[in-house]
Amino acid sequence: MNKLKIWLEQTMMISFAILVGIICEGVFYSIFMGDELSSFNLSWLQLLSIVLTGAVCSLPTVIWLTDLDIPKKKFILWQILHCIGLYVIVVLFGWLFKWYSHLDGFVVVSVIYFLVYVFVWVVSLWFHKRDDKKINKALNDIRDED
């Protein structure tokens, strides 16, 4: 798969998942914390920071985790390093773009990060399995013609 395509796909998935996480956080605060939902808004800078975070976080995926033909134990180590590296990026962007100002905000951003991380990996695996099935079906169709 083309690395640019992977980068764009990952950027869109990460950005979308972050946006959904932030919306869920706003709804949660309005339901359980008594905040008015009408007071929840996103500025253009916040939206830009979401897309920028998605783009930067997808770079290590393209660099580290494409075209790897490594043993399972080493892949798990790569995965842990990938998760930690992306977490550092998110924490830095959160601080830079003022996504949180107190410890509770940091905890919420951390929880959203791990939910987004799992979501993106599940969706990515689903996309890759779907692509594999299409490729295998095409190969079987070619073999059947012979």
Please count the CA atoms within 13 angstroms of the CA of 79 that sit on its side-chain side.
10
Q: Give the pair of three-digit tokens for residue 133.
A: 């099935």
How far, rounded to the nearest angstrom, does the alpha carbon of residue 68 sit from its chain's CA centroid?
A: 20
Per-residue pLDDT, 12 = 92
Per-residue pLDDT, 6 = 83
Per-residue pLDDT, 37 = 63
User: Three-class SS of residue 37?
Assistant: helix
How do the pLDDT tens digits run along the chain, 146 residues long? Answer: 588 888 898 899 889 988 888 888 778 777 877 767 666 677 888 889 999 999 998 888 787 766 567 787 887 888 888 889 999 999 999 889 888 888 888 888 898 889 888 988 888 788 878 888 888 888 887 877 76
The pTM score is: 0.74
Q: How far apart are CA 134 and CA 4, in angstroms?
A: 21
Per-residue pLDDT, 1 = 58
Q: Give the pair of three-digit tokens for residue 31.
A: 């339901």
8-state DSSP, 39: G
Helices (H), the chain: 3-32, 44-64, 72-96, 103-145
Per-residue pLDDT, 24 = 82
